Structures are given as structure tokens and as C-alpha cells.
Amino acid sequence: MVNCCGLLTANKALVPLKSIEVELEVRDHVATVVSTLTYENKEDKPVEAVFVFPLPGDAAVCHFSAKIGQTQIVAEVKEKQQAREEYDDALSSGQQAFLLEESEQSPDIFTLSVGSLPPGESASIRLEYVTELAVQADDGLRFCLPAVLNPRYQPQGASVQVTSVPASLVPYSLSFSARVSSPRPVSKVESNCSLDPLQHLNTEQTQATVKLAAGHKFDRDVELLIYYKDAHQPTAVVEAGQTTAKTGTLMGDPVVMLSLYPEFPQSVMSSVASCGEFVLLMDRSGSMGSRMNNGRGQQTRISSARDTLLLLLKSLPMGCYFNIYSFGSSFEHIFPKSVEYSQSSMEEALKKVELMEANLGGTEILKPLKHIYSQPCIPSQPRQLFVFTDGEVFNTKEVINLVKKNSGSHRCFSFGIGEGASSALINGLAKEGGGHAQFITETDRMQPKVMQSLRFALQPAVVDITVTWDLPKGVSATALSPPITALFQGQRSLVYAQLTGQSSEAAQGCVMVKYSLAGHPSQNPLPFNLKPAEDSGLTVHRLGARTLIRSLEMEEREHRGQQDEGVKKKVVELSVQSGVSSSYTAFIVVNKGNSKPIQGPLVRRNIPTPGNFCHHQVKMYLCITLLYDQTPAKLMTFPSASAVLSSALDDEDIERPIPKQPCRDSLLQVVSLQNASGSWLFNPALADVLGKTSEEVDKSKPALVGYLWATILALIWLHAFKMDAKEEWELLAMKAVSWLRAQNGKNHDSNADAVVFNSISTCVHSSVLSAD
């Protein structure tokens, strides 16, 4: 693994980055970020400083300037090779120059070259970008300021080895402030870092400011979670074009941004799919052996992943198919091909999951993905791919392109584990695979986020998605966004479009999202005002341009073997016109006003980023750790109403040997004892977790024995003691309830079903279970 964090100078002094100041402005669900980096050359010779740093993968870099002394120079966007040549020419002639360029392998890595900084001189670099804020499971909007950039694994080890600098020695400081505004009240802002109290700026509480507390060391990603009241409201923003741009161009015409939250019929959403092929792809590279939070957490990434696979396997529906792949420098799979989910296949998989370690070397995800896609899909079993990785790959764009090529055959759900997971990789996999992305950092538990994605995967597939526009005569809309490929209940979809033409009619338009769900056609309309919003800047235009640029770049990669230069030319033209970064352009600043050439050979210095690793994808998420009473739960007598259940048992009730369980919290222990069918068998292991001996529970039970009794007890225990983790066990509890309902037919008692659920409800709500 290559560490790209930075270099020390010849005399072990640190490189000349002095400070970083970040100002964040959030408007509803869009963020504008302005970063100012101040350099100071304390050496006795001119230096060229090189700073490799992360940005969110979907960010649109839209401004770059340099201030030397009292002179402010704004960068131009030019074709990348041309910009590089101008930079080299400037250095050769003794001029100061600055070059900002995006990595060709991953859109979330940028390189800033500061050339010919004379001895004793300072320079300030101003970088501005805009980005969309992702919606989290709890409706919070997530902003991440990447602090460090994880080293990208190189299969051939071709990159230059760079010395890392410990976080305690990083010389530069960080100041961070945020201003939040929305049509809806700002209810709270949380972070993984200490914040000063939230300050509301008006009585409606629709505007607020917040700052990092004094003394923050930039040794971790900074993550903010922003919460609004009534967050799931569809919105539309129309932004006026740039007055200096030509009408008919993207920057000259108005652009609309639609935020859509489709609402599905409750009758459809109440049912959960009982089929599917679930392919779980787990990263087992060496970095997965790291702690979740770069040494600050207790659990390793791989151990958290093992616990998550346990929950996933227990929650899969009977009748589906599944397989588990793991990868590093090589890859493995548990079964030669996906197998039907059963008690025996589940047990075999769990035995191998328990043995998984972070021991497969590097991070090469492309090979296992190709192997998965080479396997034929199973008829009537929609393929759902779950990818778990800490995201330290070198060929992000190639991986995402492969997922897009196969998007018609599956949905892809991705999970970035630990600080440093590539936002470009994780978001790209989900976006192009028609799924959903999640990030697990700081004290996050992986399990609830993964279970949310499983619920999405079990939702009925939405097909035949179309977006149609109803606009006044003379006005037309040109889509800037690619077609919507996935819709999930409660999740946002963003649509950008360029509005062309004018109308004398009422300035009102409407967009309609139509789709088919479970065989029923549905539609969600969103009317909006065509009048441009006041004081909106060019944020929407830049995000729209970025969206179109990314689509064109993807198209160009698909045709790369055919030498299609036409698409690349479009990208360059659009990037230059909009001033938004792309993989084929760069920002270039040359200080031509410097009359005195800088003398002496340049010394190259790579700026160290904080931490022993370099990482991107910051997170300010104040996570609530699941806490529960450590006193063993004690079970009281179960209501006699349950005695009406038949005690007739079949061969399924024969007690099996209990495999030795690893040390886990009580929830995972109970989950580990559940059968694939959804039932539990009462045995000493389950009794021990419930805090009672077999003899004590046996005295309190009615004639009912075996699976029925144990399943009821386990469900009562979950509701009584683990409601704070309900999102983790809800699906497997639903499976247990379905199993109990199925026993109704075996018992030939039409009242048994109601009695079971009434008994469970009575137990939970009347506190029949208690802790001694």
C-alpha cells in the first residue's frame, strides 16, 4: 500500500502550508464551500509545494484564485495538457504559478501545485466548490469535510513512496464555520467534532450559524449532520442565468433543480419481497484490520463487517438465493454459485464468515465484480449486490464504469467503512447501480445502515421511470441529469434541467415523475414557479454543469476504445464555459506581474495531510451508541393466554447441538441463535442470553415447548430490551412473526394467530419482562 501523505524537508522541517480556513454555506440541501489555504516559505530557497487532498466525489470546483502580497489572480479553466505546459513554462521562466487538477483515476482527489514561492514569502489560495448533501437514514443532511486522504492501493506498486507525518506534528491549523438556511426551520446540527452552540439568526429559525469549537486538531474528517423540520418536502429552485453569458447556452439560460421525494402507496410498501439473489461482496484487504476511526474506536472494520453479515444472513427471506464474496489482492466465494437460502446453507455461510480476517492483501475490487457479472442471473430472482469496502482503490472510474455497464441486471448498494472511504467510489457504485450508498465512520454502528439498505432492496422494484415537463408555450426543458434509474420510499432524487425560451403566460410549470410499482402505474406531480429565485448565485448552474460533465465523462470512457474525441471535446468546452472542474481540464494561475524572476533551483515539497493516513470523505456525525442495561434480563411468567397454542411439534423441534458462540453483545447473541425460517429453538444458549436457566424458564412455560415458545420469548425480549436497536432486528422479527403465523395452519386453530400477537403485545406493553 502506498502512503501519499507528504514529505519532510531535507532538515526534517515541515512543508510550508500554514493554515486552512473553511467557510460553509448550506442552502436547503446544497452546500457551497470556500477554503483558503495559506502558504509560507520559511526556507532560504524557492520551493514548489505539492498538496494532494480530497474533496467530495460529486463536488463541482468552480473557483480558484491566488493572492501573492496584495495581488489577487483568478485562475482560468483550460484543457489539462495546455494548463500543465503553461505551468511548466512559467516555472522555467522564474514566474510564480499555481495549478489545480483533478485525478484521472478518481474524481475525489485533487492536486494543487504551488510553484516558485520565494524565500520568506506567503501566498493564499482560495478554492470554492459546490456539492449536494446526501440524505441519511434519520433524515439528516450529511456534509463531510475530508481531512485526510487514504493511500490508494496500486497493484504494481508503481507510485512513489512518500513519508507520512504524524497528526501531532501537522503544522497547519483549521478554522471552520457554517451558515445554514432553509425554507424550513433548522432543528439541530450535530457533528463528530466539538461544536460551539447553534445560533439561530431569526425568530422563524430558518437561518443559523455554527462553528468548530476552539482547539480542534484537523486529525479527522469533519462531519456535519443538519436536520430540518419536515425535511421530506419536494422542492424546486429556478436560478437565473449569468448576465454576461450568451442566451441559449447552459450558463446563459435559467436552470431548474428539482428535489423529488416520491410517496409510494402504503398497501404496496407494507409487503416485503420474498425473492431475490443477494450477492454480498466484502473487502478483506489489510486496511480492513484497522480500527473504525483510525485508532480511536474499539472495533476493527472487519469485525464490524462480520457482525453485519450475521444480521444480513438472518434477515434474508426464505425462498431467496445468496452468495458471499470476499476480496483483496485475490478473491474468494463461499459457494461456486448462488444457492437457495435455507438452514443448512445459512449455517455453512456463517461458519465461513466467522473465520473472515483482513488477510487478503491489497484492494482489487474489479476482478470479483467481473466474476459476479459473468454469472447468469436466476430467473424471477432480482440480483441485489451489497458492496462493503473502506474504499482505497486506485481505479475508481473503471470500477464505476463496470457497474454501469451491468446496471440493467442488478441493483448495487454500497457501504464505505471507516474514515477514508472514497466518496467517489461509494456514491458512484450506488448511483450507477441504481441502489443506495451509506458511510459508516466514527462511532457509527454499521448494522442499522446496512439493514436500511436491505429494506430498500426488499422494496418492490420501481420500473418504467419517466420525467415529463408541463411548461407554458414557448418554454422548453433540456435535461442535464441522466435518467432516474432507482426510486426508494423516502429517498430524494435530484433532477437538473436547462430552461429555454420565454412565455407571456403565467410563470408556472410542473414536472411529473411517472413509474410503475408492483404492476400499478403511479405518478407524483411537482408544480413550481418559473420565476428565478433571488440571490441564488450560480450554484444550481454549476451543479447542473457538473452533473452533465460526469455523464459525458462516463460516455467517453465507454467509447474510449473507439477513440471518440467528440465527447471529450464537449466536456472541455462545457468545463471552460461553466468554470467547473473535470478530468480533462485544470485551473491555472500565472503571476505575470512579477517583474523580478525568481532565482535558484526549485525544491519540491509535498504537503503532508493530517493523520498517519491520508483520507477523504469527512463526517461530522454525532452518533448515538446503542446503550442498554448490562444487568441480565429476567423473564417473568408468560401469560396463560398463550397456553391455547397447540403443543404439537414435528421433527423440526429436535434440539441441535449449539455451536460455540464468540463473545458478542446480547442482541447479536440472540440473533445468532435464530434459524433461517425465522424461528428460535429453546435451549440453554438462548436461556443464558435471556438471563434465566433452562429450569427457571421451563417452570413458567405452558404446555407449549420447542420452537413456538422460544420464538415468542425472543420476540418479547427484543421488544422489551432492544427497542433502541429496532432498525437492526426489525426484518428478522418480521420473519419470525411470519413463521408464527404459518404455524396457525399446523395447529388447526383459527384463533391461535391472534392469541400469539395479543400475548406478545400484552407482555411488552404491560412490562411482563423486567430487569432484576
Specify the pLDDT at position 269. 67
**Cβ–Cβ < 8 Å for 411, 457:** yes
**Cβ–Cβ < 8 Å for 690, 717:** yes
Specify the pLDDT at position 186. 93
Helix (H) or strand (E) holding 699: helix 694-700
Phi-psi region of 141 (alpha: psi -120 to 50; beta: other; left: phi over 0): beta
Question: Would you tell me how many other CB atoms lie within 10 Å of the CB of residue 526?
Answer: 17
Specify the pLDDT at position 110. 85
Domain boundaries, the chain: 17-235+575-606, 272-458, 633-771
Residue the block writes with cell 457497474: 403
Q: What is the DSSP string of 214-268?
A: TT--SSS-EEEEEEETT----EEEEEPPPTTSPTTSTTTS-EEEEEE-----HHH
**Cβ–Cβ < 8 Å for 621, 441:** yes
CA–CA dist 65, 524 (Å, integer):
43
* Per-residue DSSP letter, 118: -
570-585 pLDDT per residue, tens: 999 999 999 999 999 9
Q: Of the candidates 3, 103, 149, which has an alpha carbon nearest to the alpha carbon of residue 396?
A: 103
41-50 burial, b at 16+ Cβ within 10 Å, e below that, comes to bebeebbbbb
CA–CA dist 357, 286 (Å, integer):
9
pLDDT-flagged residues of the chain (< 70): 1-16, 137, 147-173, 217-219, 268-273, 293-298, 392, 442-444, 490, 504-506, 534-536, 557-564, 593-664, 694, 696-705, 744-772
Edge-to-edge strand ranges of the sheet holding 47-54 = 76-79, 585-591, 96-102, 109-117, 47-54, 603-606
Question: Would you tell me how many other CB atoms lie within 10 Å of the CB of residue 146?
Answer: 28
Q: Helix, strand, or coil here: 199? A: strand
Specify the pLDDT at position 109. 82
Task: Say which residues have a Cβ less than 8 Å from residue 316's Cβ, sequence separation at least 6.
Answer: 278, 322, 341, 346, 676
455-468 burial, b at 16+ Cβ within 10 Å, e below that, comes to bbbbbbbbeebebe
Specify the pLDDT at position 571. 92
Specify the pLDDT at position 96. 85
CA–CA dist 555, 567 (Å, integer):
7
Specify the pLDDT at position 272. 63
Is the CA virtual torsion 262, 263, 265, 269 positive or negative? positive
CA–CA dist 31, 33 (Å, integer):
6
710-758 pLDDT per residue, tens: 888 899 899 888 888 888 898 899 899 888 888 765 654 445 444 544 5
Residue the block writes with cell 456525525: 621
Q: In Å, how far from its chain's centre is CA 684?
A: 40
Specify the pLDDT at position 562. 53
Specify the pLDDT at position 610. 40
Give me the architecture of the 17-235+575-606 domain, per CATH. Sandwich (2.60)
Specify the pLDDT at position 684. 83
Phi-psi region of 319 (alpha: psi -120 to 50; beta: other; left: phi over 0): left
Specify the pLDDT at position 600. 46
Cell triple for 713: 420469548
- For residue 19, the cross-strand partners are 38, 173
262-319 pLDDT per residue, tens: 777 777 666 666 788 999 999 999 888 887 765 455 678 898 889 889 999 999 998 8
Q: What angle do CA 245, 246, 250 make, to 5 degrees?
A: 75
Cell triple for 174: 483549521
The domain defined by 272-458 carries CATH number 3.20.20.190: no
> What is the value of pTM for the model shown?
0.74
